[in-house]
Every structure is written in structure tokens, then in C-alpha cells.
Amino acid sequence: MKARELLDGTYRVWRRTLGDHAVLRPTPEMTAVFVYCFAVACLKSGAILHAVTVGLTGYEAIFTVTKDALPIVMAEANRNLAMVLKEMFTIHGPVWADQAYEHEEIKPDEIVRALAEIFVTPVRDALVHRPELWPGLNTYRVPFGTTFTAKRPEYYFDPEGDLPAVASVATAVPPALADRSEEAIRELIGEQVAKRCAEIKETLTAENKKPIGVERALRADPFARQVVVRIRGRKKGEREEYQSQKQRGRRVSRGFLARWNDFLERYHEALAAWCAGNREIEFPRGTYWLRYFHHARCEGG
């Protein structure tokens, strides 16, 4: 069996809450929780943080790691975050949507695009029009080298434990941009962010949607999905085609069965190739046993 590839380099990582529940409200308390958990994870793993944005239903970050430290930093951060959030909101069950975090390696010529994509998370999630309007944790306007400090959360952590009462983490310039000035980096990122915001606005308008705004985000129900704000209702005279409950049920069932059959078909094709000795084959997203027990490659990392 081919050995698992060591994860050394610069990576973009992201994770969503289960069911896209609005658990991560943009409050100072939530920001402090993420700062502390990321600081402890970086301290234990040696990972270097470059950028982070925490939305309403998920977070994204960019780290540089050596010696295969990415699984360590993510396991430490995600476990501590989940346990704190469970206690904060009395959540019975999992906090995160998947068994594992998502990640992608960032090539040197892709770092500006990746940073911009991190920073526009609250825009892409239809929360605000521009990233600088988001009150949650977002390092878009924060110079590289800035140190974030937070006290140990009152939830979950043992006051008598070995973790520090106060933890700090600084955002470092990515290695691919080390030869550029802060001003030059910010100009490149600003151009890319402006471009992405325009594209997202066009997409939302085409879908008859608009951002929910900061006030609604702060009042969001952590046990419900993020709300969607429509620009307008149906035009006068427009009528939605009536469907009975049975018809709607059949439509949903057909959609589910189509996706399930597609998964099975691609899974069995990949399994046949795997059994024939092809360890480079990618299994469809949702594969569990082969991914976690045999380190098989899967779609999405």
C-alpha cells in the first residue's frame, strides 16, 4: 500500500457547522474562543497562521506547516472548538458537518487568490456586502505580524489544567510573499477581493438574494440554518405551480435516489480500480471506511 503523503507546505483549510447551523455568531466572545483555540493548536503543532475568517456557519484559515503538522493543528483546534461550543450552546451531538476538515495545498502563484477567497467568506455566505463590514474574526484589514491574544474560555477547559490562562497567535506573511512589502501585498489582495465581491453580488442578484446583514447575524438562532433574505417576492400575477405533499415527496425522493445511485456507481468503479492495485484512484465524496482506515484518496482532499 502506498504511504500517505506528508502534508508539508501552505494550506487553506475550512470547516462548516452541522446542517449549516448559525452557531458562530460574530460576537467578541466567539472571536476570543477562536483566537485561544487556534493559538493553543499552533503552539502544540508548530503551525504558522497567515489568515483566518470566521463566518456564521463555518471558518476558513491558511496555515504553513512542516513535519506533517496539519492534522495535528486541525485536530487540536477543531476538538477544542467543538467542546467549547457544545457547552456554550448546550449542543447534544456533533458541531461540525463532516468527520474531517477540508483542505487544499496553495501553490506560490495562487496565494493571493487564496487569501482573497478566505477574506470574502462573509460576502460569499451572503452575510455582508464587503468583508470589512463583518464584525467577526477576519484578518482582512489586519497587518501581517499582528498578535491576537485571548483568555482561556470559561467553558470546557479545566482552570487547573496545563493549558495557559492566556494564549497568543500572530499572523505571519506567507512564504510566497515574503519578498514583498505590506503595502504591495495589501494592494494585490484588495484588487482580488474587490473582483470577488463584484462577482458574488452579481450571483446573489441573479438568485434574487441579498446579504442578511450584521444585526440579523448577531440575532441568529444557533439551532437553525442561516436565513436567506430575498430581494422581492413573486411578481404580481405570478403563481407557483401547485404540488401536493405527495408530489413534493416524490420529487425529493427522486433527487435523493439519483444522487445515491450516482455515488454507488462511482464508488464501485473506484473500488474495482483500487482492488486492481490503483492507489491513485479517487473515491467519491462521502466514502468513509476506505478513507479513514486505508487512507484512500477522496474527492475534496
Crossing angle for the helix pair 28-45 and 70-89, to the nearest 10 degrees = 150
pLDDT of the chain, 301 residues: tens digit per residue = 444 555 689 999 999 999 889 999 999 999 999 999 999 999 999 999 999 999 999 999 999 998 788 999 999 999 999 999 999 999 988 999 977 889 999 999 999 999 999 999 999 999 999 999 999 999 999 999 999 999 999 999 999 889 999 999 999 999 999 999 999 999 999 999 999 999 999 999 888 888 999 999 999 998 887 766 666 555 555 544 555 677 777 777 777 788 888 888 889 988 988 888 888 888 898 888 888 888 888 887 6
Question: Cell numbers of 71, please?
Answer: 492534522
pLDDT score at 3:
46
3-state secondary structure of 99: coil
pLDDT score at 293:
85
Pairing mode of beta strands 297-298, 282-283: parallel
Place of cell 479517487: 282
The answer to whether the predicted template modeling score (pTM) of the entire model surpasses 0.85 is no
3-state secondary structure of 243: coil
Residue 219: φ, ψ to 5°: -95, 5
Question: Cell numbers of 221, please?
Answer: 438562532
As a whole number of angstroms, the distance between CA 217 and CA 23 comes to 10
Domains of the chain (ranges plus CATH)?
9-230 (3.30.70.1290), 246-298 (no CATH)
If you ran DSSP here, which 8-state letter would residue 6 be given? P
Nearest to 218 by CA among 127, 119, 103: 127
